[in-house]
Structure 1
Amino acid sequence: MSIPDNNPVLNIAVFALFVAITLYVVYRVSTRNSSTSDYYAAGSAFTGRQNGIALSGDFLSAASFLGIAGAIAIHGYDGFLYSIGFLVAWMVDLLLIAELLRNTGRFTMGDVLSFRMKQRPVRAAAATSTLVISFFYMLAQMAGAGGLVALLLDIHGGIGQALVIGVVGVIMVLYVLVGGMKGTTWVQIIKATILLLTGALITVFLFGKFGFSFSNLLSAAADNSPLGDELLEPGGSYGKSEVTKLDFVSLALALVLGAAALPHVLMRFYTVPNSREARRSVVWATACMTIFYLCTLVIGFGAAALVGPETIKNAPGGENSAAPLLALNIGGTLLLGIVSAVAFATILAVVAGLTITASASFAHDVYANIFKRGKAEPAAEVRVARLTAVAVGAFAIIGGILANGQNIAFLVALAFAVAASANLSTLLYSLFWKRFNTTGTLWGIYGGLIASLVLVFFSPVMSGAADSIISSVDFHWFPLKNPGLVSIPFSFLCGFVGTFVGRSKADPVKHAEMEVRSLTGIGS
């Protein structure tokens, strides 16, 4: 099944125009990327407003644009709970992370965690966590690109979708190689602006169709849904049993706490000159995303009212097709072409941000500080980062092709759960607990990382359910699809116990230096 009246040529043309413009911008702004500060942190030259818009562009993935709108169209109230979780997460960033992280580190999360610990083992653990999280997040985006191809560009068959995944991967690597953090940031600013404008445009069109009355829109959505008035009430998706209710609590915990510890989000705080601008970044990002998620609320219920849940479910992209089908309904082929371009631009920008984060973590933490013991030449470090970006891009393309057509929704939630489990506990302990030591750091990172991966492997996501990755067998024993409810507290416990078990003593002098630096910015 394909979308009627779809024009793949127009969709490809709009997307190609976006790529051409952004590649030109990347080339123009990246006049110098020879130093590590230029390549990793854009020389810390962006304002809080610019970085906040880029943060929203880095964070708002295809899952936010297409997935949440589809979830609202099908499940109603419960679908919007994803948006609430994402927005609350930025309060954690604002109050606990942004300012202290900007003052303490230089380029990566490993800088903060190793500040008063043994450098080599802690940086290795931080790099491992960053690479695992980035890979899962990136895999979901790349595989999502293949899934969207059938819907938006009317390209069917594994070879055609694999080709598109490869094209997305190559363009992404070009952004990172040519532009570094500065070029990637401008791509994300452009993408965020287009995404917000598109969402606002569709929202205004929708309100016009329903007499600019949100009540009329909700009534029409409820009338056109099998759920009826239950579409507007809690429980449409997560209220079916005690297990699903618990699963939602687990998912919400991962979303709220995981976003505050995602490596590609944390790295953005180093692109501003000081902690004040880091705080402003979070405020601007929160404002942009509030506007966007309010638009998705209208778009989701609008899709339920005008397209219908059954039509959405039967489309090639399933729930992800809600926004494109709605665009076709209210704006014809041209608006669908714009939505197609925005969807791919979203994937492109997010994957570029993940790529530079993964390459920076390997080059800065592993190569420069583990292999070279902090004595690497800046030019050599940047060269290693670029080579790593190529390798990461190749793995992302291969992984995306292999995962194409599979149930990939859990990969994003897993990335959030791993981030909350492995990263958040150790970050908070490092910043606020004087006694925290190297053993506690290693136990916290690896404990949370291993727990989240093991629990997902033995969950209904992998086996035992109709929508499992391996539906033909059943080896699951963990009942929840998201491990956050167990793995996040477990990581905090591991960090706590490891601190008292470990023989390494916390250095009070380094802790005092870190405390002063994180609170005042002196030396940053």
Structure 2
Amino acid sequence: KQLDFISLGLSLVLGTAGLPHVLMRFYTVPTAKEARKSVTWAIILIGAFYLMTLVLGYGAAALVGPDRILDAPGGANAAAPLLALELGGSIFMALISAVAFATVLAVVAGLTITASASVAHDVYDGVFRNGQSSEAEQVRVSRITVLVLGAISIVLGILAMEQNVAFLVSLAFAIAASANLPTILLSLYWRRFNTAGAVASMYTGTILSLVLIFFSPAVSGAPSAMFPTVDWSIFPLTSPGLVAIPLSFLVGIIVPFLTKPDNLDHLTAEMEVRSLTGVGVEAPVDH
């Protein structure tokens, strides 16, 4: 349990920096200065959120009680609404529920937009069409991607209906920390880091974290698992971060030494100057 707790904490702390719908916010600021300011505010708000979860958890345990929480519809997921009901009555509970619902919609919208844009632009246009697809084709692919992702999400949501939402979020954070964070950090601070290292690191983090989750007690073999009646779990931890994140970093470091460098030192120097000074960044325009 101690290793599981460490793995969970590692995933939550590092995964925040690798969430795609959070990274996408860098595209909404006009200059590097504003980007740094935006990141600073994000760190403050995210840190405050993590502290608030501790307060809410202990507050719900003290004021509502574990038995009442577990007996309520939704189990542990009902802790925050029940705490709101205890503190402010039905009106406060309705307000908290509305905020939670709006937050879910915002996160789902951000992830859907990010995924559909990535599939349409990076995969369809960049890989399959070699940059020759039209804007109408990319829009059509984006719409199809949204429908496919929606269907997959609904199926997975039904399978995980009885799971603790906070735990499911931690799994997403673990995948983000394993797949995205090593590439982001190494590309920012290591000149030798190349395309092969980035691809290998992302594949390693993504595949390894998904495989470890599939063979963990979170999916099978435990009373609270998605499939409690069967047991194929061979990985002892419910969160894969403790294993997947270091291995992803390790692969990202080893592969550049085994492959040819990209020889993009001039671009590295240019991006470093632009990131620190904001030189060359276009001003925002009205639409």
Paired AA for residue 314 in structure 1: D
Is 1:326–2:110 an aligned residue pair?
A: no
5 Å-filtered alignment, 1:210-359, equals 244-359=1-116
Identity %: 60
Per-residue deviation, residues 308-329 of structure 1 (Å, max 9, x unmatched): 2211121122122122222223
Contact 2:179 2:204 in 1 (8 A): yes
Paired AA for residue 315 in structure 1: A
Partner of 2:221: helix, strand, or coil? Answer: coil
Per-residue deviation, residues 98-143 of structure 1 (Å, max 9, x unmatched): xxxxxxxxxxxxxxxxxxxxxxxxxxxxxxxxxxxxxxxxxxxxxx
Select which of 175, 180, 203 maps to 1:418: 175
- The alpha-carbon distance between structure 1 residues 372 and 516, as it changes in their structure 2 partners (threshold 3 A), is farther
Structure 2 equivalent of residue 450 of structure 1: 207
Distance 1:418 1:293 in 2: 19
Q: Which of 279-288 and 412-421 deviates more?
A: 279-288
Select which of 130, 151, 155 maps to 1:398: 155
- The alpha-carbon distance between structure 1 residues 359 and 451, as it changes in their structure 2 partners (threshold 3 A), is same
Paired AA for residue 498 in structure 1: V
Deviation at residue 420 of structure 1 after TM alignment: 1.4
Partner of 2:184: helix, strand, or coil? Answer: helix
Paired AA for residue 30 in structure 2: P
Structure 1 equivalent of residue 227 of structure 2: 470
Contact 1:407 1:469 in 2 (8 A): no
Select which of 362, 365, 369 maps to 2:122: 365
Distance 2:95 2:44 in 1: 24
Is 1:508–2:265 an aligned residue pair?
A: yes
Per-residue deviation, residues 384-416 of structure 1 (Å, max 9, x unmatched): 334433332333233323432356654322221
Q: Could you tell me which runs of 5 or more consecutive residues in structure 2 were left unpaired when the two chains were aligned.
A: 282-287
Contact 1:407 1:468 in 2 (8 A): no
Distance 1:290 1:448 in 2: 25
Deviation at residue 331 of structure 1 after TM alignment: 2.8
Deviation at residue 295 of structure 1 after TM alignment: 4.7
Contact 1:434 1:506 in 2 (8 A): no
Deviation at residue 359 of structure 1 after TM alignment: 1.0
Distance 1:370 1:386 in 2: 18
Q: Could you tell me which runs of 5 or more consecutive residues in structure 1 were left unpaired when the two chains were aligned.
A: 1-243
Structure with greater contact order relative to length (CA < 8 Å, sep ≥ 6): 1
Per-residue deviation, residues 223-256 of structure 1 (Å, max 9, x unmatched): xxxxxxxxxxxxxxxxxxxxx1111111111111
Structure 2 equivalent of residue 87 of structure 1: none
Deviation at residue 293 of structure 1 after TM alignment: 4.9
Q: Report the TM-score, using the length of structure 2 for normalisation.
A: 0.86
5 Å-filtered alignment, 1:7-26, equals none
RMSD between aligned residues: 2.5
- The alpha-carbon distance between structure 1 residues 286 and 479, as it changes in their structure 2 partners (threshold 3 A), is same
Structure 1 equivalent of residue 284 of structure 2: none
Is 1:381–2:138 an aligned residue pair?
A: yes
Distance 1:326 1:407 in 2: 17
Distance 1:247 1:259 in 2: 18
Per-residue deviation, residues 26-54 of structure 1 (Å, max 9, x unmatched): xxxxxxxxxxxxxxxxxxxxxxxxxxxxx
Is 1:459–2:216 an aligned residue pair?
A: yes
Structure 2 equivalent of residue 435 of structure 1: 192
Paired AA for residue 367 in structure 1: Y
